[in-house]
Amino acid sequence: MTEMQVVEVQTYTQGAVPEEAVELAVQRVRSLLRLAPGRVLFVRVKLALAADPAVDRPATVQATIDAGGRIIRAQAAARTLREATDLLHDRLRMRMMHGRAWPARRRMAQAQSLRKLAHS
């Protein structure tokens, strides 16, 4: 993603999610968009907080990013929305880094397939 590119982040909440939690999740996801393997076309962040006190990890945060047609998703659940957001950030960063290498791996796999065909 270029620095000039600004993508609106769609947000959805379920339960008693504070606005500060939404802002933090959006900021953390935005901070990773520069790692996207293509032009970022769409970003969605969902936050949910279960009202049931019996739930072990009531806070859930999800992110979906369309980077040039490649969909990158991550989700995390934790005891608090802050913790879930931190976990999501780490998972999403790993998926973004993996996605940046994807075109090179694909080209290598195609080249290997062509070599095998040439030698058959």
Which domains does the chain possess? 9-119 (3.30.160.100)
Distance of alpha carbon 6 from alpha carbon 115, whole angstroms: 42
Please write the tens of the pLDDT for every residue from 46-67. Answer: 999 998 878 889 999 999 999 8
Top-confidence residue, 6 or 92: 92
> Confidence class of residue 22 from pLDDT cuts 50, 70 and 90?
very high
> Confidence class of residue 107 from pLDDT cuts 50, 70 and 90?
low
- Helix (H) / strand (E) containing 46: strand 40-49
The answer to whether the CB of 67 falls within 8 A of the CB of 38 is yes
> For the residues 14-43, what does the mean pLDDT come to?
93
pLDDT at 55: 83
- Helix (H) / strand (E) containing 10: strand 9-14
Top-confidence residue, 29 or 99: 29
Distance of alpha carbon 39 from alpha carbon 5, whole angstroms: 9
How buried is residue 109: exposed, middle or buried, by Cβ count under 10 Å (0-12/13-18/19+)?
Answer: exposed
